[in-house]
Each structure stands twice: as C-alpha cells, then as structure tokens.
C-alpha cells in the first residue's frame, strides 16, 4: 500500500511539474520580465523594510543594535518617494509615544497608493503625522519648500529629552529644498537642472546641492541638536553612501567650495551662475566651523541603511528561478552614459545567445566597456563564465540582473527617462537577433515607478523593436536625438512596451534585466 501511495505521489509530482513547465512556457518572456520586476519592487516596500529593522521592546526602540528610550518623546520627519509607507509603519510601531511629525512626499502619492489598494502605506485617519505633498515631476517646488520649512521648524524646537526619527529615501533632495539665502528656489533649481541635463552623476549633483542648502549635508541634524537623531535610510545611490542619499541631511559633511566650483566648471556652468550662488560659494567659513554643537560626532546621530537595490535584486533572482530562469546578478553599480550601457547589454545578449563559441573580440569589447559603466572586469569574467557553461552544457534560460543608475546627456527637448532611453537603445542593439520566444528580451525600470518626468517606469524591448517602429511609421532616430523615448514608446504598438506600474511607493534605483532563452545543445 505504502509503495502504491508513494508511486501515486511521485506521479502527481511529475504531472504537476509538467503542468508548471507548460504554464511557464505559455507565459511570454516579456510577461516573466514584468513579473520579476514586480517582485524586485515588492521586496523593498517601505513598510516591510521598516518592520525588518525597528523593534519595539516595551518602552524602548531597538535599532541597529542600539536601544532608545520611549517616553512620549518621539518626533518624526521624513522626505522621499518611499517615506509615506515608512512613516505609516513607524507610527504603528511606536504608537502613542509619537508626539508629532511632518513628512514631505511626492505630489499625488496618497491618491495613487489609495487607488492601488496599498492601504498599509497610508497613514491612519487620526495620524499625528502631517503629510505634505510636493515636488511635482520630481522637481523642487514651492510646496516642497513649505514642507522643508515645517520640517526645519519641528526639528528646531526639540530638546535633549527628545528623539527625532528621520525617514529618508530617494527623491529626498527635491522634497527638502531649503536654499541658503540669498539663493532663491528657482536659482537653485536652475543650477541643478542644468547640471543633471549635462549628464552629471548623482555624486556630483548632490555635492553641489549640499553646498547650496541649509538642511542637506548634515544641516537637519544640526538644527535638531541637542535631540537624539535616528535616521532610517532606504538607499537609492550606488554603494549606499550615507552623505549622498537625499544629499545627506543627517550626515555631517563639510562643504568644500573648490570641489563644488570644479564640478560646475567641468560642465561649463561656472561662468553663468547667479550672483547669489557665487556669493554663497565664496563665503569663507564652512558651515560647521563656527557651530557650537557637536552633532554627528558624539553619537547624537545614528544613520542606518534599511533597504537597497541589492535586496531587490536578490528577491528578483529568487522569483526568476521560480519562473524557470537561472538568475545571474551582473552588478549593483551600473552607471555612466546610457549609450555605453546599452552597448554593453547588446554585447552581453549576443555573447549569451551565441550557439557557438563567441568571437574573442566580443569579450574584449565588453571588458573594455564594463569599467566605463561601473561593471568591474571581475564581474564580467564571472558572468561570461556562467554564460559559457550554460552554452556548453545546454542549460536553460538565463535571467541576467543588474542595478544602478545610468545617466542621459540631454540634448533634445522631448519627454523621456533614462530607463526608457536605455530600453530603446538596447532594442536597437538587439536588432537582427532572433525575436522572442527564441531571442532575448530586455527590461529597464525605475523601482519608484517614475522614469524622469514621465508617467512610466521604463520599457521592455527586444530585437523586433526597429522593424515594429518602422512598420508603424515611427522615426526612432528622430525620437532618440530629441530624448523623446516616452513619446516613442507611447506611440509604438499603442504603448504596449511601456512599463507603467504607477508610483510604487518605494525607490532603490533602477533594475535592468536581460532574459535569454535557452539555447539547445548542438549535436555534432
């Protein structure tokens, strides 16, 4: 009897495995790419990361190995795309110990989260936290400036009995604008917009932002002194550098005017700066020099990273495996010009899809390009080795994952974002390769759900993009030259290739994914 049962069970398992394989085969590569992306985003939901890192034990909070006493002394501020959900969870954890709070979050986020049924990311009706929406299209505006003022006010009223919980996530720089007088918001915004448009990295951009702002570069921690400050940070910068995420409002950083001027010079902006900016940069004493407080140096400030791109890719890889792929993480630090990045993905797709040993020039070009876009040679060797083994042993499909934040040099006037422009360029690189289901699919998406100032997060492409656009009378080169990737993808095949999850409520940079179908072994 036991043998019969065990036989039946194994037959059922075989049948289930067969059904699963059939279901997976029917699910297109594109659908699976979208599913893996959704999992990456799900893994870094703000409420999840706060729950994971903040423990309440009676009247204490345990964070990063330290304990903080709660006695109705907790105040909360926050700024960033993921902060609403972080605040909702933090309020659930600390309960009545929360005295008051102010958060600065993206315009329309409450409505979007409500529409998507993400109620766990919304504050309760009688919340003690005031929500201020601003920075439409991720650009600092008057609303965000008002929110920054309220946050500054709250922080400035604290005493040494108080505990200030600071929730920080990507997009925080635009949501906490407090230009140093006499710089106006418009002037500061113009400088940063021109820098971003010239292809400056987030490191360069935020070094300049810190120098022109009252609250960035440790300014907020300084205002909150002598209160204890605990910052929970959801990282959206490669390598998770505390001083750069949201321009580091709780991380004491001395401003070096020479460094700022040299960045502005390298993008030919130093000759056209407003007089107010020159005046602030020309001031002799650095911000911290005459300050009596010692915040940030004496344990008054704890900064801790609670979520990152690495965590998102790890969970994405797990989902990819369930969906029938062998996951390989290429790098967490892809950066640099999207033109070069797209070339690298094109080469990787050719390398991975090649039935025979790929020509050595292919590997040589990848190894030359990799370091230029933040991918270490070692990571490329490791990835090529895995892909090679797959070719020789006839392994199944591969899901190549990477994270980071490339840049676009804006020369046109169109609408787009770095993910859509990258996907468009990779689509061109894949031109001539087999179409799915036998050819590769590429996805690029911003985990915040908003790519540049557009409603899309990114796009999905393959080797058929060029032909498809041509057949529909669309001029790819024209759109590319005008940085008009959003218009392009909105028009091609009725926008089907766009990735549009809506604002996701989180933000850990971008996810790139190359799905490579299995290559049958060649029988000699």
Ligand X SMILES: O=C(O)[C@H](O)CO
Measure the CA–CA gap between 290 and 243, rounded to whole angstroms: 21
Work out which of 30, 162, 236, 451 binds ligand X, going by CB under 6 A. Answer: 236
Q: Which is nearer to ligand ATP, 79 or 325 (CB)?
A: 79
H helices of 126-184, where?
142-156, 172-175
- List the structure tokens of 113: 């989260």
> Which residue pairs from 363-372 have beta carbons closer than 8 angstroms and sit at least 24 positions apart in sequence?
369/340, 369/343, 369/344, 370/344, 372/336, 372/340
Closest chain position to ligand ATP (CB): 416
CA dihedral 169, 171, 175, 181 (to 10 degrees): 110
The window from 97-105, 167-175, 262-270, 274-282 that contacts ligand X (CB under 6 A) reads: 167-175
Q: Does residue 215 belong to the site contacting ligand X (CB under 6 A)?
A: no
In the complex, the smallest distance separating the C-beta of residue 393 from ligand ATP, rounded to whole angstroms, is 39
Contact of residue 206 among ligand ATP, ligand X, none (CB under 5-8 Å per partner type) = ligand X
Give 158's DSSP letter. -
- How many residues make up the chain in this entry? 524
Q: Which does 113 bind (CB under 5 to 8 A by kind): ligand X, ligand ATP, none?
A: none
Residue 172 binding ligand X, by CB under 6 A? yes
What is the rounded distance in angstroms from the CA atom of residue 140 to the CA atom of residue 134? 8
Contact 445, 419 (CB under 8 A): yes
Residue 104 touching ligand X (CB under 6 A): no
Q: Decide if residue 234 touches ligand X (CB under 6 A).
A: no
Minimum distance between the CB of residue 255 and ligand X, rounded to whole angstroms?
16
- Tell me how far, at minimum, the Cβ of 177 lies from ligand X, in Å: 11
Give the side-chain half-sphere CA count within 13 A for 71.
4
Residue 451, contacted partner among ligand ATP, ligand X, none, CB below 5-8 A by kind: ligand ATP
> 54: which DSSP letter?
E
Closest to ligand X by CB, 158 or 245: 245
CB of 358 to ligand X, least distance (A): 37
Could you give the angle at which helices 377-393 and 360-369 cross, rounded to 10 degrees?
Answer: 150
Summarize as ranges the residues that interact with ligand ATP (CB under 6 A).
81, 138, 170-171, 196, 236, 407-408, 410, 414-418, 421, 446, 448, 450-453, 483, 485, 507
Binder among 46, 85, 140, 170 for ligand X (CB under 6 A):
170
Q: CB of residue 509 vs ligand ATP: minimum separation in angstroms?
A: 7
**Which residues, other chains included, contact 126 with Cβ-Cβ below 8 Å and sequence gap of 6+?**
none
Distance, CA of 65 to CA of 335 (rounded, Å)? 33
246 vs 329 by CB, closer to ligand ATP: 246
Q: Is 247 in the site for ligand X (CB under 6 A)?
A: yes
Stretch that binds ligand X, among 22-30, 87-95, 126-134, 244-252 (CB under 6 A): 244-252
d(CA 98, CA 76): 8
In angstroms, the CA 305 to CA 299 distance is: 17
Cα–Cα distance, 269 to 118 (Å, whole number):
43
Contacts with ligand X, residue ranges (CB under 6 A): 170-173, 202, 206, 236-237, 245-247
């Amino acid at each position: 009897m036991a043998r019969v049962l065990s036989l039946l069970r194994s037959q059922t398992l075989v049948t289930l495995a067969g059904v699963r394989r059939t279901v997976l085969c029917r699910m297109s590569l594109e659908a699976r790419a979208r599913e893996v992306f959704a999992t990456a985003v799900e893994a870094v939901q703000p409420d999840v990361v706060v729950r994971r890192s903040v423990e309440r034990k009676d009247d204490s909070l345990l964070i990063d190995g330290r304990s903080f006493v709660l006695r109705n002394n907790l105040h909360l501020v926050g700024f960033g795309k993921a902060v609403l959900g972080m605040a909702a969870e933090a309020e659930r954890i600390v309960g009545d110990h929360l005295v008051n709070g102010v958060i600065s979050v993206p315009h329309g986020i409450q409505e979007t989260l409500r529409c998507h049924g993400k109620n766990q990311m919304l504050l309760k009706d009688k919340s003690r936290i005031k929500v201020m929406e601003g920075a439409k299209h991720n650009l600092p505006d008057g609303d965000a400036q008002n929110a920054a003022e309220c946050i500054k006010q709250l922080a400035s009223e604290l005493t040494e009995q108080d505990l200030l919980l600071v929730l920080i996530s990507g997009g925080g720089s635009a949501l906490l604008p407090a230009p140093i007088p006499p710089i106006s918001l418009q002037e500061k915004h113009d400088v940063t917009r021109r820098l971003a448009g010239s292809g400056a990295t987030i490191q360069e951009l935020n070094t300049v932002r810190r120098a022109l702002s009252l609250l960035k570069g440790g300014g907020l921690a300084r205002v909150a002194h002598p209160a204890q400050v605990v910052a929970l940070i959801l990282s959206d910068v490669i390598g998770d550098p505390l001083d750069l995420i949201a321009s580091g409002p709780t991380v004491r950083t001395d401003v070096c005017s020479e460094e700022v001027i040299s960045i502005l010079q390298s993008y030919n902006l130093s000759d056209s700066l407003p007089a107010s900016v020159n005046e602030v940069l020309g001031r002799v004493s650095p911000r911290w020099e005459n300050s009596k407080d010692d915040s940030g140096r004496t344990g008054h400030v704890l900064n801790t990273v609670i979520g990152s791109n690495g965590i998102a890719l790890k969970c994405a890889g797990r989902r990819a495996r369930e969906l029938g792929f062998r996951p390989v993480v290429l790098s967490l630090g892809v950066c640099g010009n999207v033109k070069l990045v797209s070339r690298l993905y094109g080469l990787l797709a050719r390398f991975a899809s090649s039935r025979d040993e790929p020509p050595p020039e292919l590997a040589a070009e990848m190894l030359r390009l990799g370091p230029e876009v933040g991918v270490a040679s070692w990571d490329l060797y490791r990835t090529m080795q895995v892909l090679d083994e797959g070719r020789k042993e006839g392994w199944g499909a591969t899901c190549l994952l990477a994270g980071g934040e490339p840049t676009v040099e804006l020369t046109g006037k169109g609408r787009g974002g770095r993910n859509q422009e990258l996907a468009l360029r990779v689509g061109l690189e894949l031109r001539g390769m087999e179409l799915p289901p036998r050819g590769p699919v590429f996805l690029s998406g911003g985990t915040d759900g908003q790519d540049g100032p557009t409603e899309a997060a990114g796009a999905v492409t393959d080797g058929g993009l060029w032909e498809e656009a041509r057949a529909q009378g669309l001029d790819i080169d024209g759109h590319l030259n005008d940085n008009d990737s959003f218009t392009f993808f909105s028009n091609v095949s009725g926008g089907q290739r766009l990735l549009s999850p809506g604002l996701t409520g989180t933000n850990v940079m971008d996810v790139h994914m190359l799905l490579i179908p299995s290559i049958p072994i060649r029988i000699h």
